[in-house]
Chain A
Amino acid sequence: MIDPGTVTALTIVGAVVGLDFVSFPQAMLSRPLVAASLGGAICGDLGIGLLLGVLLECFALETMPFGASRYPEWGPASVAAGALAAIPGDRELAARMLPFAVLAGLGAAMIGGLTLVWLRRINLSVAGRYREELAAGDASAVIAVHRMGMVVDFGRAGAVTALFVLTLLPIREVLQDRLDTVDGVTSAAVVGVIAVGVAGSAVWKVVHTAKGFAWYVLAGLAAGLLMTLTT
C-alpha cells in the first residue's frame, strides 16, 4: 500500500510538470523521459522510471503539440506510470509490469489531454467575468486572469496525478500475482519492439520531406547497429 507522503510527493511533482506542459515554463519537464523518471525516483527506482520514460517518449514522438490541436498530456500520466513501474528490489516483476505501466501511461495521457480542454474552457469563463475590465485596458484584470489560469492549471495537474496514482496502484497490486505467464525479458522485449517501431515511423513522418534524409538515417542506423553489435 502506498503511503500518503509518497502520494503527496507524486501529486506535487505531477502538478509542476503539468504546469510546465502549457502554462509555465515549457521547459519540457513534462516529457515522459523526465516525468516518468521523477515518478520512478520518488517510488525508489529511478532506473525503471527512466526505462518507462524512454518507452513512453517513443510513443510521444508521434503526438507533438501542434497549434490548438488536441493532444495527450504526458506529464502527470508519466509521473503516475513511473510510480507504477517502480517496484524496488524486484526488477523481474517490474519488467513484467512494463506492458501495463506503458498502457496505463498512454491511457492516462489521453485523459490528461481531455482535462486541458476543460482548463481552456475554465480560462475562457474567467476571462468572461473580466470582459469589461479587459476591454478598458485594466492591467489588474489581465494579471488576475493570467494568475487564475496558472493556479487552476497547477491544481488540475495535481488532481489528475493523484487520481491516476490512487487508481492505478491498487490495480498493480491485483495484477502482481497474475503476471507469471511471460517472463520479464520477453515482456520488456515486446514493449521495446512496439515502442521503437512507433518511434521509427514517427521520426520518418517528420524527416521524410527533408532533402537527402535517407542518407542521414542510413548513416545513423549504421552507427547505431555497429555500436549495438560491439557493446
Chain B
Amino acid sequence: MTAAPSLPLGTWLRVFARLFAVQGSYNYEAMIGNGIAFAAEPAFRLLPGGRDGEAYRAAMARHSRYFNAHPYLAALAVGALVRAELDGENPDRVERFRTACCGPMGAAGDRLVWAGWLPFCSALGLLAFGLGLSAASVLLVFVGTYNVGHVALRAWGLRAGYREGLKVASALGSPVLRTGPLHVARALAAVAGAALPLVLARVHAASPGSMALALALAAILGAGLARWQARVDGWQVGVSLLLLFFIYTVVR
C-alpha cells in the first residue's frame, strides 16, 4: 500500500470536530450514515474537481447511505473511507467495506466504551464522592477522566483509519480494542468494589451499627439481583422497592 497522502491541518481539524456530531441526524433508516458523510465532507473537498466535481458528489452520495457503528469508532470508518476515496478506490470495494465493518465496529465500541470505560468512569466519580471530595472535584474526576479516553479514542480512530485505508481491519485487532475491555473490566471491579461501601457511608451518615446493617442489606439486594439477572432487571426491582417505600412515607 502506498503512503497516505498528507491532509492539510485545517481539514483534519474540521473532520475531527464534525466526528463529535456524527449522530446528529440519527434515524432508523440511514442510522449514522448521514453523519458519516457530514464528518468526511471537508476531506472530500480535496477530490479531483473540488466541491463541484463529480467525484465529490459521488462520494457524498455513497457515504450518506446506511451506516451503523459505535459513534466513537465511527472515526475509524471515516478515516478509512476518506483514504479510500482520495486513493480512488473502486466504489464497489468501498461499498463492501462499508457493509463489512458495521458489525465489528459496533461490537468493539460497545464492549470498550459502554460496557467498560463509561461504567469505570462512573465508578471513579462515585469513589470520589465516597471519599468526600468537593462537588466540583467529583464532577472533574468523572467528566475529565471520561473525556481523556473519549477524545483519545476518536483521534486514534481517525488517524488509524486514514493510515490503513480499507485494510483497517488490522486496527480492530489493536491492543486497545482486543485486551482493553478486559483491563477496564478489572479496574471497574476494583474501583466499584471500593466505591459502593463509601457511597453508602456518605449517603447514610449514621452509627456504625446501622451502617453495617445498611451494607448487609445492599449486599443481599445486589447479590439477589445478580443471581436473578436473567429474569429481572435490577433497576425495575429498585424502582418497585423505592415506590413501596415512598408510598409508605406518604400514606402512613
Contacts and interface: CB of A to CB of B under 8 A. Distances in A.
B249 interface: yes
Contact of B25 (A28, A126, A196, A205): A126
A221 interface: yes
B41 A195 contact: no
A218 B193 contact: yes
B103 to A, nearest CB: 10
Grouping DSSP codes into helix (H, G, I), strand (E, B) and loop, the B interface class, with mixed when no group exceeds half, is: helix
A92 B227 CA distance: 36
A224 B122 contact: no
B192 A96 contact: no
Contacts of B200: 192-193, 196, 228
B139 A181 contact: no
Given A28-B142, A33-B142, A205-B226, A127 B185 contact: no
Nearest to B222: A200
B221 A206 contact: no
**Residue in A33, A37, A134, A178 with the greatest tally of chain B CB atoms within 10 Å:** A33
B176 interface: no
A58 interface: yes
Contact of B27 (A121, A178, A205): A121
Contacts of A54: 125-126, 129, 199, 203
A111 B54 CA distance: 45
Interface in B181-202: 182, 185-201
B139 A139 contact: no
B110 A67 contact: yes
B243 interface: yes
B142 A31 contact: yes
Given A188-B203, A193-B200, A221 B194 contact: yes
Interface residues of A, number: 105
A114 interface: no
B116 to A, nearest CB: 8
B138 A123 contact: no
Interface string B40-71: 01000000000100001111111010001001
Given A27-B146, A96-B249, A189-B210, A224 B226 contact: no
Given A27-B150, A200-B222, A34 B139 contact: yes
Contact of A192 (B61, B122, B142, B199): B199
Nearest to A144: B25
Contacts of A182: 248-249
SS of A interface (majority): helix
A23 B116 CA distance: 21
Contacts of B233: 62
B241 interface: yes
Interface string A214-231: 001111111111011101
Interface in B17-47: 20-21, 23-31, 34-35, 37-38, 41
Interface in A7-51: 22-29, 31, 33-34, 37, 46-47, 49-51
Interface stretch (B7-15, B91-99, B163-171, B211-219): B211-219
Nearest to B198: A224
Interface string A144-177: 0111111001000000000000000000000100
Given A146-B25, A188-B204, A190-B245, A223 B194 contact: yes
A181 B248 contact: yes
User: Which residue among A31, A49, A209 has the maximum number of chain B CB atoms within 10 Å of its CB?
Assistant: A31
Contacts of B41: 139, 142-143
A205 B227 CA distance: 10
15 contacts: A126-B25, A127-B25, A137-B56, A137-B58, A138-B57, A178-B250, A185-B204, A192-B203, A199-B199, A199-B222, A200-B225, A205-B226, A220-B189, A220-B190, A228-B201
Interface of B: 20-21, 23-31, 34-35, 37-38, 41, 51, 56-62, 64, 68, 71-72, 106, 110, 114-116, 118-119, 121-123, 125-126, 129-132, 135, 138-139, 142-143, 146-147, 150, 182, 185-201, 203-206, 208, 210-211, 214-215, 217-226, 229, 233-235, 237-239, 241-243, 245-246, 248-250, 252
